[in-house]
Structure 1
Amino acid sequence: MVGSVPRVDAATGSHHTEEDDMARYLLLKHYRGAPAAVNDVPMDQWTPEEVAAHMQYMQDFADRLEGTGEFVDGQALSPEGSWVRSDGPGRPPVTDGPFAETKDLIAGWMVIDVEDHERALTLAAELSAAPGAGGEPIHEWLEVRPFLTAPPTVTE
């Protein structure tokens, strides 16, 4: 965030800013695989005006969060895609299956940098209300995932 004040952690002696205390979350929009949205009409059945209204809502939401310093990045995803694997030297194999395909599951994502988990949930709920068919809110389920900030620890 702009204007962060550096401070020293008393326990470690390391320098960091208030910005370091922010938490990054992934807001993941699904095509399917989540519970059905209230306004459950697939986007490929929307009118061009409904798609435009939805996209404008998403842009306005991102612009507002950019203004508060909470927006990191976000993208809608194209339905095209491939699976690639390295088998060592040479050209990697490329296939369109038979894997569970994220292109069939994930519509897009947004990364936010917020003060706490509650703020992430509040913003996800707001994003869930983007308009869909008939201009009515979708009320879709969004997956809210925190970024891993430290390697997991193993306890015995």
Structure 2
Amino acid sequence: MAKYLLLKHYRGAPASVNDVPMEQWTPEEVSAHVRYMNDFAARLERTGEFVDSQALAPEGTWVRYDGEGRPPVTDGPFAETKDLIAGWMVIDVDSYERAVELAGELSAAPGAGGKPVHEWLEVRPFLTTSPTVTE
């Protein structure tokens, strides 16, 4: 088994391929979207493939050590892009192919009008060994 992070990106306006920004979805459409993700997670819990998930608030700040004790703070959570990390799910699956399959399924969560949002999900494997430097 290998752990993968499914990173949910919200690409500003439009939020998805169906060209309707999430801010314009009805409360029922938002509820259907969240219900789909919760049902998806529950199904993966039953198969033993679910580890954890969390939605993130849109507010955020970039902080970086400046070497002088007062870290600079920048508006965020994004500086030069309209992408926003909306949340994440950690899965533990048998293969990279299974991780991609599940990410594709999660990308089909309903949005405006009940149509799949086709949102982008980043699939990232967890680093399982410490990186080493060889000369």
Same fold (TM over 0.5): yes
Give the counterpart letter for 2:2 in structure 1. A
From 53, 77, 80, give the equivalent of 1:100. 80
Give the secondary-structure state (helix, strand or coil) at the position aligned to 2:60.
coil
Q: Report the Cα distance in structure 1 between the residues aligned to 2:116 and 2:40, rounded to whole angstroms.
A: 14
Higher relative contact order (CA 8 A, sep 6+): 2
Gaps of 5+ in 2: none
Q: Report the Cα distance in structure 2 between the residues aligned to 1:151 and 1:24, rounded to whole angstroms.
A: 15
Gaps of 5+ in 1: 1-21
More strand by proportion, 1 or 2? 2
What residue number does 1:70 align with? 49
Larger radius of gyration: 1
The number of aligned residues is 132
The normalised TM-score by structure 1 is 0.73
**1:153 Cα deviation from its structure 2 partner:** 3.9
What residue number does 1:130 align with? 109
* Identity in percent: 78
Question: Contact between 2:62 and 2:75, CA under 8 Å: does it hold in 1?
Answer: yes
The normalised TM-score by structure 2 is 0.83
Question: Contact between 2:10 and 2:119, CA under 8 Å: does it hold in 1?
Answer: no
